[in-house]
Amino acid sequence: MTPKRCLLAAVLLLYAGEALAVYTVNGQRKSFEIHRTESPPVIDGKLDDAVWRDAAIVDDFHQTVPTDGGKPSERTIVHVTYDDEYLYIAANLLDSEPAAIQARQMIQGKLFWSDDRFWVTLDSFNNKRNDYFFQVNANGVRREALRENNASFIEEWATIWLAESRVHEAGWSTEIAIPFKSISFARDLDTWGINFGRGIVRKQEFNMWASHDRQDWPAYGGEVTGIGDIEQGLGLDIVPSVNVSRSRDFVLGDDDSDFEPSLDVRYRITPSLSATFTLNTDFSTAEVDEQQIALDRFSLFFPEKRDFFLQDAGIFEFGNIDTNGRPFFSRRIGLSEDGEAVDIVGGMKLTGRIGGFNLGALAIRQDANGDIEARDLFVARGSWNVLDESAVGFILTHGDPTSNDSNTVAGIDFLYRDSEGPFGEILTGRFWAQQSRTTDLDDDDSAFGALLEIPSDRLSAYLDVQQIEENFRPALGFVNRAGIRRYGLGSRFRVRPDTGRWRAINISADYSLVTDMDDNRLSEQIAFMPIGLYSHGDDDIFVEWSRNRETVREGFELFDRLDVPAGDYEFDRLRAELQTGRQRPLRLILAVEDGGFFDGDRLLKSIDLRWRQSAHLSLGLGFTENVVDLPSGSFTSHLASLSSDIAFNSRWSWSNLLQYDNTAEVVAINSRLRYIPEAGRELILVLNHGADVDPSNHLSSTRSDVNLKVSYTLRY
């Protein structure tokens, strides 16, 4: 029996034995009824408004961590009501040690894993597939996200909502007002999916109102009934912005100043269908990318960070494809091949739901850039809800933002989910197929993929297959490896000891094989994690061994310095990583990886240090070193970063990021001063400065720019 078949058999036998012992059918959904209020509360975090005495109460929480289904150590009392325009939620989060409440994040929109927190999720179509996520800490710092297809967490999404929190003598409290103008919903539906959660980080305790097997995806949420006659007004958001900029090119000696007004308009045609228009769009104040090091011959993937494209981004997701093979990747728009910004003249986006049909359409006019003519770019995405939690859909893209060629991609996908199946878990299946049409490229231009996954806290397993033909080219998508077939399978087994310092112990095994279209091996990896330890203090440590086989058809360069010739390579690698808990004032991530590498050796050492001195000051240090020794030579790459977040209060913040990459021999500084007096209104001042580093480590400035942007949301 071959090693591959032995591994597959072991995974299936392990899963089969565990499934009978662990999985159970999900029970009835929890529910409560709310009533309309005639006197809205003042959102100040005090909970002293009379309206809360008559509001619906939810207090039957349970633990998901450390004990699934256990009794919470602290009581949580939630009040819920609504009026024509808002859903109101108040939470009294009692705590026997108020002085120990952690609230170290004060910058709006930033992650606050280190803080005590409360959150609510809203499945406003009650389809058990998608929901809105709203989270707040004891400083009143807000964080929102979209959760799509019981799988994707789109944390870059942003909308307007209100929240204020206060620490009191018995714990802390928060008040939340979610405008119906900020979300989509079905007008004739009086029952929504809803859930509530709380984190007490010093205890590493997490409590939920509704969950199953420690999971709180929309499929496992509860329900709220009694919603009716809610309004969105005209459903019109008008966001005028002004950007004043000054830039200097130190190499050419050029200076440039600019004054650019822009306009975004969002109109809700119905409560569940929205049209968004953008004119003279400016992305100069979007967050910068964190630098990455390429250690193979394939392109790197950077996430989208621009607000216009992030709005309703989940609707455009296709086939739940992570990276390679995506038909639509919005970062291809407004950026040239070398990463320089290209002006967007204007655009329109239509997103929403009509009954059981989910719709997304995007049209963009991109300005000319160098030899590339002005381009009209178009994406259409649609899906139908079928069965209880599944969907079948299509996607169509047209246009090429980086060349004058014609390009079109069409695709279909089917996502299968069953949260109440024989395993009592979310059983996941997906299938997708795509076809591209490109100038001067004929045949061999299709792609398809399939996945079967059975997730569980105790045991999870997956089987994945993908094929991307040589000429498949989604000009508005992302492909970094074509002409391949890929196969993957893996399993993870988790033990949660009843006593001791370890909250969980993991063992996992993964296998992947990439071949060419004639089934000749290109890449193969067996990865085995014999132990992964997770403490009750959220400290993690794991060790992973991997065996890698690589067939390089065409030689390539690493770091633009070291030659890797064509040939067959086989090497083993070993990695160890330590992470301390996010709740600690000083957090450390330390990684060491060593072993063979393309007929040579590579030693990686990485450290990431974050110190949260208080809610007002956070400092970060990151450093990664790769020592590569190949027959063609040796090189040591350094990637370093220094960051600081200074919060003067919950409205004013100043963030700085300094990055150094000796591979590209550059230093870059990004400094951002933000003022957010309330949600939907923002002033941001951004400074960017870049410099080259010569062999003597002397700096020479290359370019700098300063951008001041003011935006104001008008709602009708």
pLDDT digits 0-9 by tens, 473-516: 999 999 999 999 999 999 999 999 988 889 999 999 999 999 99
Highest mean pLDDT among 145-154, 180-189, 300-309: 180-189
CA diameter of the chain: 77
How confident is the model at residue 498, as a pLDDT? 86
CB 315 within 8 A of CB 381: yes
CA-based nearest residue to 144, from 313, 389, 272: 313
Mean local confidence (pLDDT), 630-641 = 95
User: Which run of H or of E encompasses 241?
Assistant: strand 236-249
Report in angstroms the alpha-carbon separations of 371 from 336, 367, 441, 477: 11, 11, 21, 21
Residue 423 reports pLDDT greater than 60: no
Residue 383 reports pLDDT greater than 60: yes
Q: CA-CA distance, 691 to 637, in Å (whole number)? A: 18
Q: CA-CA distance, 10 to 489, in Å (whole number)? A: 12
Residue 24 reports pLDDT greater than 50: no
Q: CA-CA distance, 399 to 545, in Å (whole number)? A: 43
Neighbours of 53 (CB within 10 A): 8
Residue 321 reports pLDDT greater than 70: yes
Q: Position 15: which residue type?
A: Y
Neighbours of 264 (CB within 10 A): 20
Residue with tokens 């499934």: 19
What 3-state DSSP class applies to 209? coil
Report in angstroms the alpha-carbon separations of 315 from 349, 351, 362, 419: 11, 7, 11, 21
Q: Which residue has the higher pLDDT, 371 or 89?
A: 89
CB 709 within 8 A of CB 259: no
CA atoms within 13 A on the CB side of 29: 22
Mind listing the pLDDT tens digit for each residue in 33-64?
999 999 999 999 999 999 999 999 999 999 99
Mind listing the pLDDT tens digit for each residue in 665-711?
999 999 999 999 988 899 999 999 999 998 888 889 999 999 999 99
Lowest mean pLDDT among 51-60, 246-255, 288-297, 373-382: 288-297
pLDDT band of residue 546 (cuts 50, 70, 90) is very high
Residues 6+ away with beta carbon under 8 Å from 559: 628, 635, 637, 663
CA-based nearest residue to 304, from 282, 327, 335: 335
What's the angle, vertex CA 174, arms to CA 168 and CA 175, rounded to 5? 135
Q: What are phi and psi of 606, to 5 degrees?
A: -140, 140
How confident is the model at residue 289, as a pLDDT? 66
How confident is the model at residue 579, as a pLDDT? 96
How confident is the model at residue 285, as a pLDDT? 63
Mean local confidence (pLDDT), 149-159 = 80
Mean local confidence (pLDDT), 311-340 = 86
Neighbours of 104 (CB within 10 A): 24
Strand partners, 3: none
Token pair in block for residue 390:
């599944």
Residue 246 reports pLDDT greater than 60: yes
Neighbours of 314 (CB within 10 A): 19
3-state secondary structure 673-684: EEEEEECCEEEE
How confident is the model at residue 219, as a pLDDT? 87
Residues 6+ away with beta carbon under 8 Å from 92: 47, 76, 77, 78, 171, 173
Mind listing the pLDDT tens digit for each residue in 424-455?
567 889 999 999 999 999 899 999 999 999 88
CB 604 within 8 A of CB 590: no
Residue 333 reports pLDDT greater than 70: yes
CA-based nearest residue to 572, from 525, 536, 540: 525
Q: Position 559: which residue type?
A: F
How confident is the model at residue 645, as a pLDDT? 96
Mean local confidence (pLDDT), 138-162 = 87
Residues 6+ away with beta carbon under 8 Å from 170: 94, 95, 98
DSSP conformational letter for 154:
E
Mind listing the pLDDT tens digit for each residue in 563-593?
999 999 999 999 999 999 988 999 999 999 9
Mean local confidence (pLDDT), 317-332 = 91
Domains and CATH numbers, the chain: 34-225 (2.60.40.1190)
Lowest mean pLDDT among 303-307, 381-385, 440-444, 446-450: 303-307
CA-based nearest residue to 308, from 319, 299, 296, 316: 316
Residue 7 reports pLDDT greater than 80: no
Mean local confidence (pLDDT), 348-353 = 91
Preceding peptide of 695 cis, ω within 30°: no
Model's pTM, two decimal places?
0.84
CB 556 within 8 A of CB 297: yes
How confident is the model at residue 457, as a pLDDT? 85
How confident is the model at residue 337, as a pLDDT? 77
- Cα 303 → chain centroid: 8
3-state secondary structure 402-431: CCCCCEEEEEEEEEEEECCCCCCCCEEEEE
Residues 6+ away with beta carbon under 8 Å from 251: 702, 703
CB 222 within 8 A of CB 209: yes
Residues present in the chain in total = 716
Token pair in block for residue 536:
């009750």
How confident is the model at residue 288, as a pLDDT? 65
How confident is the model at residue 23, as a pLDDT? 24
Mean local confidence (pLDDT), 194-214 = 94
Residue 28 reports pLDDT greater than 80: no
Q: CA-CA distance, 354 to 186, in Å (whole number)? A: 8
Q: CA-CA distance, 332 to 402, in Å (whole number)? A: 8
CB 205 within 8 A of CB 583: no
User: Which run of H or of E encompasses 6?
Assistant: helix 3-22
Mind listing the pLDDT tens digit for each residue in 71-102?
999 999 999 999 999 999 999 999 999 999 99
Residues 6+ away with beta carbon under 8 Å from 573: 545, 546, 548, 593, 594, 595, 596, 597, 602
Token pair in block for residue 97:
């040690």
CB 33 within 8 A of CB 55: no
End-to-end CA separation in angstroms for the chain? 69
To the nearest whole number, what is the mean pLDDT of the chain?
A: 90
pLDDT band of residue 277 (cuts 50, 70, 90) is very high
Residues 6+ away with beta carbon under 8 Å from 506: 492, 493, 494, 529, 531, 532, 533, 534, 542
